[in-house]
Amino acid sequence: MKNIKIAVIGGDIRMYYAGKDLESNGAQVCFTGFEKIGVPSCSEKELSGCSCVLLPVPLTRDSRTLFAPLSDKKILLDKDLPLLIKSKTVFCCMENTLKRFCSIGDSQQIFDYYNAPGFAEKNAVLTADAAVSIIHSETNASLVGKKVLILGYGRVGRECARAVKEDFADIYVGVRRKESELEVILHGFTPVSSINLENMQKYDLIINTVPYTLLNTSVLDKINKSTLIIDLASDGGGTDFKHAEKAGLKAIYAQGLPGKYYPEKAGRIISQTISQFTGGL
């Protein structure tokens, strides 16, 4: 990373740590959008001297402004951001979203670090570990022998099963495909159909990772009032939260867990990931 000048624009505290990790590895780093934690934004001259910009994960939460909760002002995707990233190499997540809402030069290099090898897997580990921390803080009882249903067996679902298994819980995994069912069995868990969710009253904990409303009104009505629901899915989750509240169920929508629980580790993962791309810059 030596001799590379990079601007970190927007994001939560993990992006600040990503920038500091890049700095510790020889990059020249300036920040924009971190005024709320006392970090001054780089000047126009400093920004113009940067060859690269690092954009946050997620890129946006509202499809209008850059995700920048630590900034004193909004950074509009269609007006402000094009000026900040003009003629620079861009490291971002959600590349398609960036191109849809922000003017990008034809010759600009864009690297989507979210899709880089290893990034999603490392973040899934942090997400699962953070989910277990939430569970421990919300429940006083041990998970030993408790019945836990995990909906979905992608990266996050697999890591959640791994993390909860360490607490000696009985793990059931909701899947759709036969291949996933076989994988669940090979890993020592019990597969159930996520298409026809039955016997929902037997679970003490439900973790959803599927961005589709599996936990709908009819399913929620079958769940015990004492069951804790943790929803980790993107795009609004997979739980009818309004009905869950009406039914007296505790359902927690947990987003951005790596940044909230392990910001330094999450930032280091981002830094290490984009460092893979900089060899030819």
Average pLDDT over residues 150-177: 94
Residue 281 pLDDT > 70, yes or no? no
Domains of the chain in start order, with CATH, are 5-115 (3.40.50.720), 120-259 (3.40.50.720)
Average pLDDT over residues 187-200: 93
Question: Could you tell me the pTM of the whole model?
Answer: 0.89
Helices (H), the chain: 13-24, 44-48, 80-85, 95-101, 119-138, 155-165, 178-186, 217-220, 241-246, 257-261, 263-275
What is residue 69's DSSP assignment? Answer: T
Predicted confidence band of residue 94 (pLDDT cuts 50, 70, 90): confident
Single-letter code of the amino acid located at 124: A
Predicted confidence band of residue 5 (pLDDT cuts 50, 70, 90): very high
Contact yes or no for 240/251 (Cβ under 8 A): no
pLDDT of the residue at 280 = 47
33-44 pLDDT tens trace: 999 999 999 999
Dihedral of the alpha carbons of 76, 77, 82, 84, in degrees to the nearest 10 = 60
Mean residue pLDDT of the chain comes to 93
Nearest to 114 by CA among 62, 155, 64, 158: 155
Contact yes or no for 55/92 (Cβ under 8 A): yes
Dihedral of the alpha carbons of 44, 112, 262, 74, in degrees to the nearest 10 = 40
Average pLDDT over residues 182-204: 94
